[in-house]
Chain A
Amino acid sequence: TQLLEQSPQFLSIQEGENLTVYCNSSSVFSSLQWYRQEPGEGPVLLVTVVTGGEVKKLKRLTFQFGDARKDSSLHITAAQPGDTGLYLCAGGSIGAGGTSYGKLTFGQGTILTVHP
């Protein structure tokens, strides 16, 4: 069973601060997705990383996939109240027989609150 450890579980910061969320595993993933979810809504895909060492930027958000494809991080610069939400990392696995059936292993989630 693949596990993805996400930390921290809760993060409460002031507007303008920087933060980093981590996802770690002992398993190798074919891909790593980051989602953001607001209360009462479904998760929204932020980014997908597939190559070890890959770095992607989305405005103030920077995503990194570890060289061994076992870990990932999300860094937010100058956080804003609009960044408040539940952040989820999810690792993609390869199905049996080499076919990719797309099952995701989710981390526990990070509840981010950015205070004005």
Chain B
Amino acid sequence: GAVVSQHPSRVICKSGTSVKIECRSLDFQATTMFWYRQFPKQSLMLMATSNEGSKATYEQGVEKDKFLINHASLTLSTLTVTSAHPEDSSFYICSARYGGHYEQYFGPGTRLTVT
């Protein structure tokens, strides 16, 4: 149980375009979903926290107009990278938790490359 999927797993886009990444909890209803960014051989950096039906809470330094997060249902959250630039190239990972549980369950990640 507690499976989280992400789509796409890899995406290459041109500078200036927008890219949408989907995160789904497959076998549970996610009270909260999280979006992280990870650079090679480094730990995870939290970008934002989202609860179903409410606005996402962004971490300091993360541009909310550039990284649009929508948490439309208890099983789906999306991250849209708008007007992507090469410096946005990274590994983006989502996670989900439910109820009063401590654990977060992670998706497999999305490798974004902006050319």
Contacts and interface: CB of A to CB of B under 8 A. Distances in A.
B7 to A, nearest CB: 13
Nearest to B101: A102
A107 interface: yes
- Tell me the dominant secondary structure on chain B's binding face: strand
Contacts of B95: 42
Interface stretch (B14-22, B38-46, B64-72): B38-46
Interface residues of B, number: 27
Contacts of A86: 41
B103 interface: yes
Given A40-B109, A101-B49, A103-B49, A33 B103 contact: yes
B46 A103 contact: yes
B106 interface: yes
Interface residues of A, number: 27
A107 B103 CA distance: 16
Contacts of A43: 44, 93, 106
B49 A45 contact: no
A104 interface: yes
Contact of B102 (A31, A35, A108): A31
A43 B4 CA distance: 11
A6 B74 CA distance: 33
A24 interface: no
B43 A107 contact: yes
Contacts of A72: none
A1 to B, nearest CB: 9
Contacts of B111: 40
A106 interface: yes
Interface of B: 4, 6, 31-32, 34, 41-44, 46, 49, 51, 91, 93, 95, 97, 100-109, 111
25 contacts: A31-B102, A40-B91, A40-B109, A40-B111, A41-B108, A42-B4, A42-B6, A42-B93, A42-B95, A42-B107, A43-B93, A45-B105, A45-B106, A88-B43, A88-B44, A101-B32, A102-B32, A102-B97, A103-B34, A104-B34, A106-B43, A108-B42, A109-B41, A109-B42, A111-B41
